[in-house]
Structure 1
Amino acid sequence: MAAAAPVLVHVESMQTAVPARDAGSGRSLPIAVSGPPLAAAELQRRFRAVLYYRGAGAGGELEAAARERAAWVKESLSAALADHPEMAGRLRRGGGDGRLWEVKLTDTGVRLVQASVEATMAAFLEATGADRERMEAALALWTDVDVHEPDICAPFFVQLTRFQDGGYAVGASCSLLLADPLSLVGFLKSWARKLAKLQAQDKLVADPVIQYTRYIRSAGAAAKRVKSVPLDTATATAAADNTTRTVLFRAAGGGGTPDHRSLAAACVAKASERLGARAPPRFTVVARDDGSEGLKVQTCAADGDRKPCPAPRAAHWRDEPGLGLEDLALEGRKPVHVSYRVVPCADEGLVVVMPAGGAELLISATVPNYM
């Protein structure tokens, strides 16, 4: 008996959405690295969010709706980037030893991927657990940042993928050196507001830029594909998705110059205990202090000296104010499902410390899923 044909993911367009106006080009946000220099693997640490939406229409209407949606997404991303210039930046080395880095605000833009998958959204969502997590990597594609020429690589991807039943997914993959999960969620919410505003204005006055974009995105143009890959192949590169798990915490931030290593160690220990896994011997802390534009990346030993720190409290992506994306409406509809994923280096401990307003911190602790 012949083997079943593989499910294909078609990448139909790879574009760039740039800020609608000059958004602070020339500034730099420093990244201080304590510990081993950042190697190629460390540059791929990222946060991924995928939102699933029901579409409308049937047959040829689906194609027309998909082309129109793609045009609106690109236009609204450009508008949102003007208010969030850091999201359009590029990573750049600041020194020869691999310990000095920066985010250069170059207005270079966000990589926008348009794709389709040979499956219905309903069938895709039937998969559960690790199977769906691996498949979701194809809904938020990522191209590795080159350690030698990082400034030519996009650290932020937004992907619009349509399913055969008219549903679609919005996937975002963003380097943790560019933005932490809380910052990325804030940007996505800002983008959704821009999209709703532009669409409301278009009901009154036709936007010539949008009309032109619709024209060049004809049915013939949409049929041209950049590449098509089997879903299993697309997800094979996401091995870390099945070897690590992330647990979310809240804690008091404290005053003065914080030492996040003790708090991070406490979160790693609690996450490992909850998952019934061994705590990793080393872990990396990525932290941005409240009120500071700089980022710190520290490598810590699990058995190092620790100072007293606030006790971390369990939290959840969907329950955190300002973090959950379950209410992010597009085209008047809320998502039917949202997934979140911190993608570390394989089998490493990774802690991301995020200022959550006031004296509160939000902490994600990602630990290897081995017993």
Structure 2
Amino acid sequence: MAATTPVAHVHIEAVQTAVPTRVVEPGRTRLVAVAAPPLPAEALQRRVRAVLYYRGSGGGADGTMAPCAWEDGVWVKETLSEALADHPEMAGRLRRRADGSWEVKLNDTGVRLLQATVDAPLDEFLGAKNLARREAALAPWTDVNADDPDMCPPFFMQLTRFQGDGGYAVGVSCALLLADPLSLARFLLSWARTHARMRAESKATPHPMAQYLAYFQRPETTRKRLRSVPIDSFAGVGGAASETVLFRTGCPADGHHRALAAACVDQVSEALGAAKVSRFSVVVVGAPAAAAGDDGLVGKTTIETCTADDGPQEGSGGGAVAGTATALEAVQWSVLGLEELVIRDSKPVHISYSIVTDGDEGLVVVMPDGDGSLLVTATLPN
């Protein structure tokens, strides 16, 4: 009888919350204005997913994790908390407003942080044909409850160790209402710099709390895993299959975001050979305010639903967007800079970046790049 191949599992070893190391000024919010309230429940689950893979310094001879793994997990929590102090919106919670719009409440509630292991080597995991689907195991998510969103973290981070060679992955899932792809990438880069700085400082002055927590999180001092789940069970988790294309373009005149979004949707449809969607949501991210105004607002994002008739249907590929003086340029996800996210003096060997969405509508996200241009993602269901 042929031997049965063992089923790979992801084992959740610890679940914690990283909160900012400094208190946020009360009353600060980021407005999410909805053009036609109410926002559908599935829109709350739209999220950015990023998984960064790193090679380690080697594991144990028996295929167990490297001894430094648990200490690294403690340092991730410590440095993440410090980074959140400079980006308090990432530790906030979504709330519904009386007018049907939403807001991100900067209330120090924190980021959900998980530590996990996978009983498969890094190269074997990366070589799987259904990698994009399996990555849901490395970037966890729990749906935001529209009736009680305060209790639902919109940002998850998971540190996952692979078997044998010490390789690991940093996976994040972040609600699109909390942060757009560009803002998330910039936060992660900021966290990586904080992580490197604090680790370097600890070599001269050991961090007593990190040493204390590292001891109590080692495998020999923990009682049991929280849960273990087959990797392949995640293959159908994480939203409908979709394709996302990233564009760079100039800033259109006021009122032309709808035409810009429609042009992006058309170009992606043509590139994929897919049928045109009849409806799509447009998320326009406003630049964050340098300081909170009298009303406590620190920024604004607008969401509206458009139809295929809101923009050009022919001749949009690669040319100027109708009603604007801008042109679309398809670019790689590398423009977000995550290739420079260094952990333990190593750059990632592979990066996955995607937008997860449900339903049969398209989704466009318009983001200011800070240099007078825009980055625009267009996501279509397969």
Question: What is the aligned partner in structure 2 of residue 302 from structure 1?
Answer: 308
Change (3 A) 1:185 1:25: farther
Secondary structure in 1 aligned to 2:20? coil
Question: What is the aligned partner in structure 2 of residue 251 from structure 1?
Answer: 249
Matched residues in 1 for 2:97 and 2:71: separation?
41
Cα drift, residue 4 of structure 1: 4.0
Question: What is the aligned partner in structure 1 of residue 231 from structure 2?
Answer: 231
2:59–2:163 contact (8 Å) kept in structure 1 = no
Listed as ranges, the matches of 1:1-371 within 5 Å are 4-35=5-36, 37-59=38-60, 62-95=65-98, 99-128=100-129, 131-165=130-164, 166-222=166-222, 224-240=224-240, 243-255=241-253, 257-290=254-287, 293-304=299-310, 308-309=323-324, 310-318=326-334, 320=335, 323-369=336-382
* Gaps in structure 1 of 5+ consecutive residues: none
Change (3 A) 1:285 1:222: farther
Q: Which shifted more, 217-226 or 339-348?
A: 217-226
Change (3 A) 1:118 1:62: closer
Matched residues in 1 for 2:251 and 2:171: separation?
31
The residue identity in structure 2 corresponding to 1:315 is V
Secondary structure in 1 aligned to 2:235? helix
Secondary structure in 2 aligned to 1:251? strand
Cα drift, residue 12 of structure 1: 1.1
The residue identity in structure 2 corresponding to 1:216 is F
Cα drift, residue 315 of structure 1: 1.1
Cα drift, residue 288 of structure 1: 1.1
TM-score (norm 1): 0.92
The residue identity in structure 2 corresponding to 1:171 is G
1:17–1:109 contact (8 Å) kept in structure 2 = yes
Per-residue CA shift, 1:283-319, capped at 9, x if unaligned? 001111235510101111111367613221111111x
Change (3 A) 1:308 1:123: same
The residue identity in structure 1 corresponding to 2:371 is G
Cα drift, residue 127 of structure 1: 2.0
Change (3 A) 1:202 1:43: same
Cα drift, residue 198 of structure 1: 0.7
Cα drift, residue 345 of structure 1: 1.7
Q: Which shifted more, 19-28 or 174-183?
A: 19-28
* Gaps in structure 2 of 5+ consecutive residues: 290-298, 313-321
Cα drift, residue 33 of structure 1: 0.8
Change (3 A) 1:38 1:3: farther
Matched positions, count = 359
Per-residue CA shift, 1:21-63, capped at 9, x if unaligned? 1133431111111235223211100001100001113318834
1:244–1:346 contact (8 Å) kept in structure 2 = no
Secondary structure in 2 aligned to 1:62? coil
Matched residues in 2 for 1:174 and 1:86: separation?
12
1:12–1:223 contact (8 Å) kept in structure 2 = no
2:262–2:311 contact (8 Å) kept in structure 1 = no
Matched residues in 1 for 2:303 and 2:5: separation?
46
2:283–2:364 contact (8 Å) kept in structure 1 = yes
The residue identity in structure 1 corresponding to 2:158 is Q
Identity of aligned residues (%): 53
Matched residues in 1 for 2:19 and 2:255: separation?
36
1:141–1:173 contact (8 Å) kept in structure 2 = yes
Matched residues in 1 for 2:223 and 2:363: separation?
41
1:254–1:359 contact (8 Å) kept in structure 2 = no
Per-residue CA shift, 1:230-255, capped at 9, x if unaligned? 11212322251xx2100111111145
Cα drift, residue 221 of structure 1: 4.3
